[in-house]
Structure 1
């Protein structure tokens, strides 16, 4: 039985989109059938509706649901209108005009045979109009609450444009800062990334996907994309299955357990099989092991790219491979539409397979409530860039900035002790660049730059002298350096805004050299020659190797690309309105040759130590081969990073004491508490991110030297002492063993609590077999 539908009537003179909330006093159109329209949104009800709708669909209509079309043209092309009307389109992407989106939905709902609404997708990665810090910067907050709220703000703003599906969060574990997309990641650690992945999914999707201002999330890129060779985007990924399961898959499992609507298959080749055609990933792990009931979308045109990889002979075989593997929807390609029906007719693909894949897509549409509410009324949602949105962006930027160096307590600055301050550098007043990568809709007019924020905060007390000095971060022109040195000499302190523009990070923007680009290091040296304190504020989309400037600056505040409200946040941190509290979510190498370098490495059979390491400049002439310690390190870099994971200074000092466990032994299946005393021994009230690390000393497979197992952001007044408790269940220490099964073993463990991964405050405990 075909559905009957109420036809939406427009008021005379109205447009098709902006008045769709109540046209001429009539409620929004809904599909009026018992099978398809139902106020209940529980899983059983949705499943009945999915199956009822599937029973009415032709094969062409089913394939249409698996087809996503790029609809970014300003004018709706006639062929798109026809395709939607014929039921040959299940989703569109990159259309952000709400009137156009509503018209597309109207065609789908009222003019197609079955009236199935569209999924409307868009990359809403770290904001829509109001932009949060880049995801890597958000990870530096170590604060799921602010990350969740940032995603919620982005969802509400995107929803005003009719968007109901975002291609975020990107939760690839990323341990190579050369990779441009590390900016979109949540860092190097699976535990931290998992916690923040959950927060982002919850922020986008809310408590109920049918609520206004919620959008479906996509966990991407499944899986291993962040481990591409030499940090080159789209490159081959070689990850042993044990590492894949223990390191790269946990954030995706966390997102699936949270109810993420969709996953996106990665571009990359994983162990010889590109993810878009990888049945092990998309069926064995995702469906069979994890019971995922959402849908999988390809990345942009990645179905066709299977042939370019060399996995298939042509587009037709690529479709067979992708469908067999489990890619439910093709993004921005026409391969499914062109070849899928003939593959079914030949019997190579079963209709039951297609039914299951289409059901995954329809299930998402029902979860979103699109059959009841296909249209968008922007007036029913909070206004763009409202006070709450801007405050959330400011708080995220405040908490994301990491103080890497602060010699002699040069920061914070006191405006009443300064007569003048020099603000120099290409990124001091760059409203677009501070938004960061992959922001298609971010409004640069909303950006408040550091230069303007500093003027606003202290300009009435201090003479603020601004010089751009370089056209951009990559410039080799040094004509303005003399003037920069002169301004620095005539000022009390120099604020030097360095880094890389947003174009230098993100998709397809990998770098082999991650020093400060252009002649920025020379600018630092020239300004330092003026003899005044130099504070470097660095905005970038990745960790940078800072060894060539670190000795020439007195302080470094690493602000990432901080988003719309980055300027006020930076100004408030520099002048002590707030203390920096960000912690690194990724290790900073001394030089590129150390990559990959990360805190949770394996021990090796010959681990280095300060006592065994001899650096290249200390090797005696004609020294014997065995004189350098024979351990795992680089002669010219040592074995330590420039800045470790979890590191970040404050304007106060925190003292950790008396680490202990609630028991020396705990049975499998039980919980113990790891505790320590934390005291703010400095003069500032400030926040600290307390971190718990664990090491499994003997296991079925070798385990990392440390693993993050808990963290907590706390605010302590000067002089305050608190007891910090972490509940640790033995299941938190489970891992995948030699047989690729999750195991929980008895044995001896070390535990640390501190302010970074290099904490030395340690205790130990033992897990015993309860039998």
Structure 2
């Protein structure tokens, strides 16, 4: 922002703030839900009076030009000062054109594609009158039992941080005067993804070292990219709820990072301070949260109900209220709402910019890039164009429920099913034999439909098994203790694979989290992880199944052998007794391996890639030096392909224990058959730095190992020393 624009906004906000009563300032700190009538259509009547009296600063779950314009008129035309409302909505992986879930987007390792997806969702959301989206979600997550892993980028700090930056760029754009951008809100601050036992809203307890080294960097990355707002988390962190946590909200966010934007709570989080047991009533909950640094209360109404009295009795300083109201007004001013409160409410844009052919094409491309080929024994995939009689078996073969949770205004009626995608690919002359076989509902045990499915398998020249979770199985408040295939799907797979004989069988998985696939992996020759791929999901899966697109996705989370390994993540510590040193007295299980079924960074292709030897100019460098390492990657197969070349680093001896390996860089290469490319990485001092026991970021001399390969569990290693 230019100094001139900053000064103009500052004068605008300060002039308005001087005219406001205490109650009007507190009103700006109050966010309420947009109401709907019995049919689900927007209905303003429940909150109109509060809007007219200046008791509402923001409305969430508010979208649609007609709805937002009508509600804005109540604020601008009838409140004393005419302060416009701020409209927020959870636009997470698309507004009407739904892209793959964020975890799937992370599997693409394609930062430009992720930025484009968030750019499109901002364009569509802004065209529907939205100003502010509660994204990106940057919670590092190492426990797939937690349902909200679908909303983040997985287990790695670097990948999550880079994706956070890309998402903020896509949401907020580069032009502050544009009307096709949204204000972003990074969430959930902080460590929400580390909830004990993977259970939603549960306790988090960790060292400050781990908090700062593993869980805070993605938040800082988003803020460094210019993210406008922050949302607090539901969880406690080291016995203090995040919504009233002085270390998080004051010390780190404001004092250390210098963040000047607005902090909003999650839904009713201030109210929940009573349930946590740190507040006896609404007044104490409001006092603790506002004094800790919360600027806006989402939905509990505790600020609007108690803050005036808390100021009058001296428990909250009015200067703190001014500070919070100023941040809310600043965001509105930066969005241009004081100049034109209706600048986002344009009927023509709403008609022209939503669910366009261009947006569908982008969603299809990203869905293809997000898919991970886990297994392909006997080269079952890709299927041939000669397969004109396909048995599509399973509960997700002929359903539009491929959008996933947090689908904003996404409509299943717009969604391409897998059956439709295969027909679109093979043509109307192809015969697609469909049978659900079983349900994918948790607790369902009915297997009566399996025989009908087997009859279709006998008639087919290729079989596609479409298995996975229902959209409700990975979501907020959707933790699962057993993350295997729900219902009797495993039995269906066993029977189909046994019946198929020499007929090729490809298994496609639609899900929102890593699953335990050990039994399925033992018997299925081909596994394609499609996640929940979005509006164009069926077309995209068909593109990959029939080889029009070569799969290039890589896992952003480890897939465990058993739920008993959880939490499982690639960048763990070695322990003092690592496996392999002593046959018995080692850190290991008696009944399963330590390693995951599929490791972080893993993914196959329809072609093959060969890695040459790693070359470096020297084996010893100084503390301030950068070491260049390089190698040649060759496509040794017969198809064009994309390889994600990953660089991992290990600090072998340091003042604190360091992980076995850490992702430090990656490059995404597109290579034609026979083509080679020299890949060079620069290992900088920053890449070698870490937090020491005193929570200082340092770099230390010593021995380092570099691993470059196609996953966290593969690749050649070389050593170098920092002197």
After TM superposition, the score normalised by the length of structure 1 is 0.90
In 2, Cα distance between equivalents of 1:392 and 1:378: 24
What do the CA deviations read for 1:615-674 (whole angstroms, capped 9, x no partner)? xxxxxxxxxxxxx43111111111110000000000001111121234433333343322
Equivalent of residue 389 in structure 1, options 326, 342, 359: 359
Distance 1:195 1:41 in 2: 31
Determine if contact 1:41/1:366 at 8 Å carries over to the other structure: no
Match of 1:150 among 89, 92, 117: 117
Does residue 138 of the first structure (1) align with residue 109 of the second (2)? no
Distance in 2 separating the partners of 1:140 and 1:363? 36
Deviations along 1:147-169, whole A, 9 cap, x unmatched? 11111111111112211101111
State the distance in 2 between where 1:700 and 1:318 align: 41
Q: Which residue of 2 aligns with 1:24?
A: none
Query: Secondary structure of the equivalent of 1:415?
Result: coil
Aligned to 1:12: none
Question: Is the contact between residue 67 and residue 331 of structure 1 (CA under 8 Å) also seen in structure 2?
Answer: yes
Give the equivalent residue in structure 2 for 1:491: 460
| d(CA) in 1 for partners of 2:21, 2:624 | 51
Contact 1:473-1:498 within 8 A present in 2 as well: no
**Distance of 2:215 and 2:43 partners within structure 1:** 40
For residues 8-34 of structure 1, the C-alpha deviation after alignment (integer angstroms, 9 at most, x for no partner) is xxxxxxxxxxxxxxxxxxxxxxxxxxx
2:463 pairs with 1:481:
no
- Please tell me whether the aligned partners of residues 51 and 75 of structure 2 are also in contact (alpha carbons under 8 angstroms): yes
Structure 1: runs of 5 or more not aligned: 1-37, 613-627
**In 2: Cα distance, 1:463 partner to 1:380 partner:** 41
* TM superposition shift of 1:740: 1.3
Q: 1:263-321: CA deviations, max 9, x gaps?
A: 11000011100100101001100000100111110010010110110011111100011
1:548 aligns to what SS in structure 2? helix
Q: Which residue of 2 aligns with 1:437?
A: 405
Q: How does 1:385-534 map to 2 (within 5 A)?
A: 385-416=355-386, 418-431=387-400, 433-460=401-428, 462-474=430-442, 475-530=444-499, 531=501, 532-534=503-505
Q: Which residue of the other structure, out of 73, 84, 89, is the alignment partner of 1:106?
A: 73
Matching residue within 320, 327, 341 for 2:308: 341
What is the CA distance between 1:118 and its match in structure 2? 1.3
> 2:95 is paired with a residue of what secondary structure?
coil
2-side partners of 1:368 and 1:671: how far apart? Answer: 41
Q: Aligned to 2:554, what secondary structure does the other structure show? A: coil
1:90 aligned onto 2:57 = yes
Match in the other structure for 2:525: 554
Residues 488-544 of structure 1: CA distance to partner in whole angstroms, max 9, x if unpaired?
A: 122222100000010111100000001101100110111012113321100001000
For the 8 Å contact 1:679–1:722, the answer to whether it is kept is yes
Which of 211, 214, 217 does residue 244 from structure 1 map onto?
Answer: 211
Mapped partners of 2:618, 2:337: distance in 1: 52
Q: CA deviation at 1:767?
A: 2.7
The separation in 2 between residues aligned to 1:280 and 1:586, in whole angstroms, is: 29
Contact kept in structure 1, 2:35 and 2:46, CA below 8 Å: no
Q: Following superposition of structure 1 onto structure 2, how do residues 5-24 of structure 1 map, counting pairs within 5 Å?
A: none
8 Å contact from structure 1 (residues 403, 582) kept in 2: yes
| Superposition deviation, residue 680 in structure 1 | 0.5
**Distance in 2, Cα, partners of 1:41 & 1:646:** 46
C-alpha contact 1:500 1:541 (8 A) present in aligned 2:
yes
- 2:198 and 2:314 map into 1 onto residues whose CA distance is 41
Query: Which residue in 1 is equivalent to 2:612?
Result: 657
1:596: which partner in 2? 567
Counterpart mapping for 1:551-590 below 5 A: 551-590=522-561
**How far did residue 460 of structure 1 move?**
4.6
Name the counterpart of 1:748: 703
Give the count of matched residue pairs.
713
Which residue of the partner structure matches residue 68 of structure 1?
Answer: 31
- The CA distance in 1 between the partners of 2:162 and 2:591, in whole Å, is 36
2:439–2:487 CA contact under 8 A, matched in 1: no
Structure 1 Cα separation of the partners of residues 292 and 113 of structure 2: 37
Aligned-partner SS, 1:422: strand
Counterpart CA distance in 2 for 1:355 and 1:637 is 58
1:731 to 660, 680, 686: 686
Does residue 226 (structure 1) correspond to residue 193 (structure 2)? The answer is yes
Bigger Cα displacement from structure 2, 131-140 vs 357-366 = 357-366
Indicate whether 1:277 and 2:244 are aligned.
yes
Aligned partner of 2:722 in structure 1 is: 767
Within 1, Cα distance between the matches of 2:203 and 2:121? 32
The equivalent of 2:273 in structure 1 is 306
Counterpart mapping for 1:283-298 below 5 A: 283-298=250-265
In structure 2, distance between residues paired with 1:363 and 1:314? 31
Preserved CA contact (<8 Å) 1:301 1:330 = yes
Residues 408-461 of structure 1 show CA distances to partners (whole Å, capped at 9, x for unaligned) of: 111111112x34221111101111x20001224111121111111101111456
Question: Does 1:199 find its partner at 2:170?
Answer: no
Q: State how far apart, in whole Å, the 1-side matches of 2:688 and 2:27 are.
A: 45
In the other structure, the counterpart of 2:626 is 671
TM-fit CA distance, 1:324:
1.2
- Which consecutive unaligned segments of at least 5 residues does structure 2 have? none
Q: Does 1:686 align with 2:641?
A: yes
Q: 2:5 aligns with which of 42, 46, 50?
A: 42
Distance 1:472 1:635 in 2: 32
Residues 41, 67 of structure 1: CA spacing in aligned structure 2 closer, same or farther, 3 A cutoff? farther
Kept in 1: contact 2:381–2:545 (CA 8 A): yes
User: For residues 68 and 61 of structure 2, what CA distance do their matches in structure 1 show?
Assistant: 10
Q: CA separation in 2, counterparts of 1:359 and 1:764?
A: 53
C-alpha contact 2:388 2:426 (8 A) present in aligned 1: no
- With over 3 angstroms needed to count, the CA separation of the structure-2 counterparts of 1:378 and 1:146, relative to structure 1, is farther
Distance 1:72 1:311 in 2: 31
Q: After superposition, what is the alpha-carbon deviation per residue over 1:667-692, rounded to whole angstroms, capped at 9, x for unaligned? A: 33343322111010111111111111
Q: Deviations over 1:366-407 (max 9, x none)?
A: 221111232111314642111221111111100100000000
The 8 Å contact of residues 138 and 219 in structure 2, kept in 1 or not, is answered as: yes
Aligned residue in 2 for 1:28: none
Structure 2 CA distance, aligned partners of 1:731 and 1:40? 31
Distance 1:555 1:177 in 2: 23
**Secondary structure at 2:612's aligned position in 1?**
strand
1:759 Cα deviation from its structure 2 partner: 1.8
Do the aligned residues in 2 keep the contact of 1:41 with 1:367 (CA within 8 Å)? no
Q: For the structure 1 residues 713 and 98, does the alpha-carbon distance in structure 2 shift closer, same or farther, using more than 3 Å as the test? A: same
| Higher deviation after alignment, 677-686 or 436-445 | 436-445
Note closer, same or farther for the CA distance 1:389–1:40 as it changes in structure 2 (3 Å cut): farther
Q: For residue 77 of structure 1, report the CA deviation from its aligned partner.
A: 4.6
Choose 560-569 or 80-89, whichever is displaced more. Answer: 80-89
* CA distance in 2: counterparts of 1:252 and 1:651, whole angstroms: 36
Alpha-carbon distance in 2 for matches of 1:662, 1:43: 48
Alpha-carbon distance between aligned partners in 2 of 1:77 and 1:447, rounded to the nearest angstrom? 30
Decide whether aligned partners of structure 1 residues 536 and 307 sit closer, same or farther in structure 2, where only a CA change above 3 A counts: same
For residues 683-722 of structure 1, the aligned pairs below 5 Å read: 683-722=638-677
Deviation at residue 76 of structure 1 after TM alignment? 4.2
